[in-house]
Each structure stands twice: as C-alpha cells, then as structure tokens.
Amino acid sequence: MHTIEYQFSDKKVPVHFDAVFNEIYQLTAGAKLIILTDDQVFGLHAEKFSGYPVISFVAGEANKQQATVNNIIDELIKHEADRNTFLIAVGGGVVTDIGGYVAAIYMRGIRLALVPTSILAMVDATIGGKNGIDVGLLKNLVGTFRQPDFILYDYSFLSTLPFDQWVNGFAEIIKHACVRDAKLFAFLEQHNLHEFQNDHHLISELIEKNVNIKSSVVAADVYEKGERKILNFGHTIGHAIENTYHLSHGQAVSIGMVAACNLSEQIGELHFEEARRVVSLLAKYHLSVDIETDHEQVFEILKMDKKRSADTIDFILLSEIGRATIQSVPLDTLQKHIKEIM
C-alpha cells in the first residue's frame, strides 16, 4: 500500500493505492465499521467482508433512489450506528454515490471510506466529493458535495468485473487523456485492454495517473464553476443519446467524444489527424464511434441541456489532444453542423 494525500479546498483526503481490503481495520483505528455494498459485489466477494456487519442493496442504477437510502438508514439504526461509526462503501459508482450521500445525512454526518470496485468508480466516481441519488429518471438530482475520510484501492476486486464494465470505465480514462494529458493518451495507444486486465502493475499505474488528473481538475474547482466542466467532454451529446438509443454510459460518451472532436475540427482548432487518433483509440478499447441517429431528435434533446443558456450551449472542445476548452456554441451553428458531427 502507498498513500497520497489530495487537498480539496479545506479537506485533505488520503488515498491508499495498491492496498488490501483487510487494511481497512488499521486505517479506521478500531472504530465501529459497517460495510455498504450491492448484492452483486457482495455475492462475489463475501469472504472479504466476513466479521463485519454488511448492508447490501440490489445492484444497478435503477436502485440509486431515495427508497434505497431509506432502507439503508433503517439498517444503520438496527446496527446502532452512531457518530463514531465508519461507513465503508464498497462497490461501483452507484454504491459510492449512495454511500457518500447516506454518510452525509445520517446523524448529520458520519465518517466515510470509499472502496471503488469498478474501473469507472476507481477513476471517476470516488474522486471529487460529489454524491447523491436519482429522482425517478432525473440523474443525480439530489445530493451533496462532501469529501470521504479516505479512499482505498484494492485491485483484486477487478478480477470479477464484467468485460462491458471495463469498457465503460475506459471511456472516462480516454476522456481524461483527451482533455488533460497527451502522455497518458500515448500510453493508452501503446497498450490494450487485455494487457490492463492482466497486468497488475500496468492497471495500478493507469488508475493512479487518472486519479491524479481527476483530483487536480477537481481541486482547482471543487464546486464546478469553471475548470471542472472540462470533465464533461463527450457528455453533452453522450447524455442526449444515452437513453434514447439505449446505450451504456461509456458507449454514449464515446460517441459524444467523437462528435465533440468533429465539432472541434469544424469550428475550433483541432487538426483532423488528432481527431482521427481519438477515434482509433476509442475503437481500440471496444468503444462505439458511430451510430445511426435521427439528427433532428438529437438536436431537440440537446436544446434541453442544462448547460444551455438562451441561444448558446456550452461545449467542451479539444484544441489538441491533452488540451480542452469550454466554448459557447450558438444553437444555430450546432444545428448546421449536427448532421456532420453525428
């Protein structure tokens, strides 16, 4: 295990890389621990949790709702959780988002450790202090900004992660490289998913590079007023097509990144050769790079985006690989280009 402390406004968060789940005991110095996880992770890794009280809920985004929070709170009361309890949220982004939210509101705040078990949770969801739940279909409508007390990475959880979840997580990894780190982009070009799945040192190096990127972007803008928005690269169009075309988040964001690269070429400075490299890298990591869409329908959904203001919409564009800019794009310009960028 090795530890790096990341500073987010007024809170320092220790991140323990390459750790073993058991080390949680020493790290919480004998406090009362309660594990929160989902039934899928629990079913596959029950032996890691033996001896601890476990609260488990049914896996999946559909359960990231207030009803699940209510059940968890009932369970915490049954387990006599108090202000000295440490909640340990072990799972993908759904578990860490719900865990963060419950820990923020139960008794007005109890201590929290996050143990991400999916690639997406490792490189994205656990970093930055955002937590919350969906309300019906409205994603992440309710929640708080609150940093965990620490984050622990045990890569042995990844041995059971399904292939499509690896691919899903790599969409965010490629996004980080595109907006912030040309060297990471080249590193991804040199390797492939199979190597990352089978080489402990390689995946641990990759996760750490991504935690560094996300942390540095978040630290500069904890409450998402400016710089943090670059992490939305590919997400504007991604969100517009994710539900309508029944795509996984990663596949939708991948198509969104291709569209954003096309737009960056047409109205920005991105060289076509750089755009081509982004498309090849996404395809190399099994991500979709095109889709048949109804352009008018996509434009109608884009108009409803929360990043829209009056006649423009904020887009994250690339000026080159590793450098993103936030640009207000007039809606009529977008409408003109939508056919070519999708």
Q: Using the rule CB under 6 A, is 44 a contact of ligand NAD?
A: yes
Q: Using the rule CB under 6 A, is 179 a contact of ligand NAD?
A: no
Residues 293-332 that bind ligand NAD (CB under 6 A): none
Contact stretch for ligand NAD (CB under 6 A) within 9-17, 59-67, 173-181, 327-335: 59-67
Marked catalytic residue, from 249, 265, 274, 286: 249
**How far apart are alpha carbons 241 and 65 in whole angstroms?**
22
Burial pattern 295-317, b for ≥16 Cβ within 10 A else e, equals eeebbeebeebebbeeebbbbbb
Structural tokens at position 148: 């965990």
Marked catalytic residue, from 232, 262, 265, 274: 232
61 is catalytic: no
User: Looking at the DSSP assignment, which residues form a beta bridge with residue 12?
Assistant: 7
Q: Which is nearer to ligand NAD, 7 or 280 (CB)?
A: 7
Q: Which is nearer to ligand NAD, 93 or 256 (CB)?
A: 93
User: What angle, 0 to 180 degrees and rounded to 10, lies between the N-to-C axes of helices 163-180 and 272-284?
Assistant: 160
CB 252 within 8 A of CB 245: yes
Instruction: Name the residue among 206, 209, 228 with its Cα closest to residue 217.
Output: 228
Binding ligand NAD by CB under 6 A: which of 19, 21, 36, 40? Answer: 40
**How far apart are alpha carbons 287 and 175 in whole angstroms?**
12
Site string for ligand NAD, 138-177 (x = CB under 6 A): --x----------------xx-xx---x--x---------
11 is catalytic: no
Task: Specify the length of the chain in residues.
Answer: 342
224 is catalytic: yes
Give me the DSSP letters along 145-193: B---SEEE--GGGGGG--HHHHHHHHHHHHHHHHHH-HHHHHHHHHS-H
239: Cβ–Cβ under 8 A, 6 or more apart, which residues? 252, 256, 305
Question: How many residues sit in the footprint of ligand NAD (CB under 6 A)?
Answer: 30
Q: Using DSSP, state whether 332 is helix, strand or coil.
A: helix
Q: Which is nearer to ligand NAD, 33 or 253 (CB)?
A: 253
Cα distances from 266 to residues 271, 332, 341, in angstroms, run 10, 14, 9
183 is catalytic: no
Nearest approach in angstroms of CB 237 to ligand NAD is: 17
Select the residue whose beta carbon is closest to ligand NAD and give its number: 93
Q: Using the rule CB under 6 A, is 6 a contact of ligand NAD?
A: no
Nearest approach in angstroms of CB 250 to ligand NAD is: 8
> Which uninterrupted H or E stretch holds 39?
helix 39-45
Residues 60-89 that bind ligand NAD (CB under 6 A): 60-61, 64
Q: Using the rule CB under 6 A, is 92 a contact of ligand NAD?
A: yes
Residues catalogued as catalytic: 108, 130, 172, 214, 224, 228, 232, 235, 239, 249
Q: Which residues of this chain interact with ligand NAD, rule CB under 6 A?
A: 38, 40-41, 44, 59-61, 64, 91-95, 97, 117-118, 120-121, 124-125, 128, 130-131, 140, 157-158, 160-161, 165, 168
